[in-house]
Amino acid sequence: MPDPLPPVEKPAPVAAGFSLLTGAKRWLVVGIALALLASYFSGTFNRYYLGIGIDVGIAIILAVSLNLINGHTGQFSLGHAGFMAVGGYFAAWLSLQMGVNAKVMFPLSLLAGGLFAAVVGLVVGVPSLRLRGDYLAIVTLGFGEIIRVIAQNTEAVGAASGLKGIPKFTNLGWTFGLAAVTIYAITALVNSTYGRGFLAVHDDEIAAESSGIGTTRYKVTAFVTGAFFAGIAGGLYAHHKQFLAPTGFDWLKSVEIVVMVILGGMGRTVGVIAAAILLTVMPELLRDFAEYRMIVYALLIIFLMLVRPGGLFSINFKRRSAA
Amino acid sequence: MDFQQTIQQLINGLGLGSIYALIALGYTMVYGVLRFINFAHSDVLMLGAFSALYIAPKVEKVLGPQSVTGAILVIVFSAAVCACLGMLIEFLAYRPLRNRPKLTVLITAIGVSLFIEFTCQNDAIFGSATRAFPKLLPEQQFHLGKIVLGSNDIIVPVVTALLLVGMWFIVQKTRIGTAMRAVSFNQQAASLMGVPVNRIISFTFGLGSALAAVAGILYSMKAPGIEPLMGVQPGLRAFIAAVVGGIGNLPGAVLGGLLIGVLETFAGGIPGLSNYRDAIAFGILILILLFKPAGLLGRATIEKV
């Protein structure tokens, strides 16, 4: 019986030893090298630009990971900021508990934050992903709300006044290194034989189900993976801003990430990265118009959905018929 | 908690739940014909409260303060304004997307919702400050032993009950209601049978938005004040109520609304739980999705290819 999911066509590796340098992996290496270089010289940068640079890196991680859920798999999560909060609070709390060793353990704190967010993602995802589309939007929206309520009532993480005094460990190297890892991991996952399943779920759930793809399983996998990277981004964010407030992760933060994915074109990684950079840098340039920012975002969403559902950067405009 | 406190909480809960139920009716009706969550519904509720804020002083000039006729007029005018707004939103944002994937419409709805919220927060429109809502009716309190029964506690459930009966009558007994059910059942077939689908959808949006306006006014009568984001919280809970009761099902929406209102009020009275009050509705939602995804009164649908 033929394999229902033909593997992606990709150039055969030249030799096993050089496989590190083929395809997406090359970009991973280049990205990490650049990140190391940037972090080495970052002492000479202007602090303001440095801060924006780190913001951009965190936004890329968030947008690319949400793209796996909202873009490639075609689900609609509105709770990405919630997972960011889970990872951020957990990593920051770990750092504060460890005291002196915290700097050495920073990568582990980030990882723990990501894993914790992934576990929470599993708990939220399993009930809501058994159902179709729009339930997920509401459940994830509500989940963000629950996270905020919990953070506001937990004394260990500062309750309503927020978590203060988080050590500043995030630098350009960590941020862009992890952004490169995120981009690579998610691209590789989607392009793998297994990853075809995400696209199948996106294209037609009923057809995918009848070809023997466990759609719920795929949706949950996408959701948990996305949550994991959002948690890592949260950890970076916590050790960058050095302060976490429960209100900082409300659903507008999630909407901001969603706008990045929609603007970049759902499922188009390069577009999403470009949109993440654009939407992080633009508000800094347009500080005088800050009060109109969300109005512009809202109009952008409506306009893009009406005219260019494939994203701002899409070249050919394909009209999809109703499922 | 003794017996009288329980009764008191039950009364408060039913008042809150009736408002959720009214909002949930709008969600469920729109979901019935178009199969998508109208995120902007909660903002129509806010617009209803604000139109009442502007209409009330004008009505007061003619009829004197706090008259029953005046209150009814304010509600009817606001409902009319919101019905028009609802139809306008449908015409501008949702109609061009009629044959697109549902996700596209859902995202547009979120865009519309954000647009209304942030435009209204601008100082040129309403501003983001909380404003006092005018007293439409004289308030009276009845004391039955230790139980305090405000006049609003009676008005709200009665209005909800009347509107529910009205909705049931429109949907089940009138020609346009038959058309609504036909569109909900199968849009294409309905259109082939000569049902003007676009007009029916427009009408449904108008009806739902009018209900949202009434709910917005009733909500504001008890709330400390109104502001452009006031609709978000009751809107979310009402949507959950619609899902809990079985989305697309009118009695289900009311049942879900009352259930969530009562549970939330009771949780607010228990010391350890009161801080988590905001999270209760979502907890219920997740439980329902796990064990009875079609909702309490909904029927499981079979997916046909």
Q: Is the backbone of residue A23 left (phi > 0), alpha (psi -120 to 50) or beta? A: left
Q: How far apart are CA A44 and CA A85, in angstroms?
A: 31
Q: Across residues B239-247, what is the average pLDDT?
A: 87
Render pLDDT for B8-31 as a digit per residue (tens, 0 to 9): 888 888 888 999 999 998 888 888
For position A319, what pLDDT does the model report?
Answer: 46
Q: Does the pLDDT value for residue B301 go beyond 70?
A: no
Q: Do A306 and B278 touch (CB under 8 A)?
A: no
The SS3 of residue A244 is strand
Q: Does the pLDDT value for residue A31 go beyond 50?
A: yes
For position A315, what pLDDT does the model report?
Answer: 55
Q: Does B16 touch chain A (CB under 8 A)?
A: no
Domain parsing of chain B, residue ranges: 3-127+140-291
For position A290, what pLDDT does the model report?
Answer: 73
Q: How far apart are CA B256 and CA B295, in angstroms?
A: 9
- Mean model confidence pLDDT for chain B: 86
Share of chain B above pLDDT 90, in %: 29
Sole residue written with tokens 């046909």 = B304
For position A12, what pLDDT does the model report?
Answer: 47
Q: Which residues, in sequence order, are CB contacts of A136 under 8 Å at separation 6+?
A: A75, A76, A77, A128, A129
For position A63, what pLDDT does the model report?
Answer: 94
Q: Do B305 and A210 touch (CB under 8 A)?
A: yes
> Is the pTM here over 0.90, yes or no?
no
CATH topology of domain B3-127+140-291: ABC transporter involved in vitamin B12 uptake, BtuC (1.10.3470)
- Residue B140's Cβ-side half-sphere holds a number of Cα atoms within 13 Å equal to 5
Chosen from A124, A247, A294, A302 to mutate, greatest number of chain B CBs within 10 A: A302
Q: Does B305 touch chain A (CB under 8 A)?
A: yes
B99 → closest Cβ in A135, A149, A322: A322
For position A231, what pLDDT does the model report?
Answer: 94
For position B305, what pLDDT does the model report?
Answer: 56
| Chain A neighbors of B239, CB-CB under 8 A | 138
Q: How far apart are CA A111 and CA B179, in angstroms?
A: 56
Q: How far apart are CA B22 and CA B159, in angstroms?
A: 9
Distances in Å between the Cα of A53 and the Cα atoms of A48, A59, A175 are: 9, 10, 9
Residue A212, both tokens: 């023997």
Most distant CA pair in chain B, distance: 62
Whether residue A215 contacts residue A201, with contact meaning beta carbons closer than 8 Å, is answered with yes
Chosen from A305, A306, A321 to mutate, greatest number of chain B CBs within 10 A: A305
**Shortest CA distance to B27 belongs to which of B182, B256, B230?**
B256
Render pLDDT for A200-257 as a digit per residue (tens, 0 to 9): 988 888 888 888 888 889 999 999 999 999 999 999 999 888 888 888 888 788 888 9
| Closest residue on chain B to A141 (Cα) | B236
Q: Does B30 touch chain A (CB under 8 A)?
A: no
Q: Does A297 touch chain B (CB under 8 A)?
A: yes
Render pLDDT for B137-156 as a digit per residue (tens, 0 to 9): 777 777 777 777 888 888 88
Distance of residue A6 Cα from the nearest chain B Cα, in angstroms: 24
**Could you report how far apart the first and last alpha carbons of chain B are, in Å?**
54
Residue A264: pLDDT band (50, 70, 90) is confident
B106 → closest Cβ in A76, A128, A302: A76
Q: Does the pLDDT value for residue B7 go beyond 90?
A: no
Q: Across residues A272-300, what is the average pLDDT?
A: 82
Supply φ then ψ for residue A122, to 5 degrees: -65, -45
Q: Which residues numbered 148-207 in A keep a CB inside 8 Å of some CB on B?
A: 149-150, 152-153, 206
Distances in Å between the Cα of B42 and the Cα atoms of A203, A219, B112 are: 31, 29, 11
Sole residue written with tokens 């920012």 = A293
Q: Which residues, in sequence order, are CB contacts of B172 under 8 Å at separation 6+?
A: none
What residues are paired with B144 via a beta bridge?
Answer: B147
In this structure, of A27-41, A193-207, B90-104, B170-184, the range with the lowest mean pLDDT score is A27-41
Q: Do B243 and A322 touch (CB under 8 A)?
A: no
Q: Does B99 touch chain A (CB under 8 A)?
A: yes
For position A289, what pLDDT does the model report?
Answer: 75
Q: Does the pLDDT value for residue B237 go beyond 70?
A: yes
Q: Across residues A145-157, what is the average pLDDT?
A: 81
* Distance, CA of A106 to chain centre: 20
Q: Does the pLDDT value for residue B135 go beyond 90?
A: no
Sole residue written with tokens 């209409």 = B55
The SS3 of residue B150 is strand
**Shortest CA distance to B170 belongs to which of B207, B196, B202?**
B207
For position A16, what pLDDT does the model report?
Answer: 44
Whether residue B115 contacts residue A302, with contact meaning beta carbons closer than 8 Å, is answered with yes
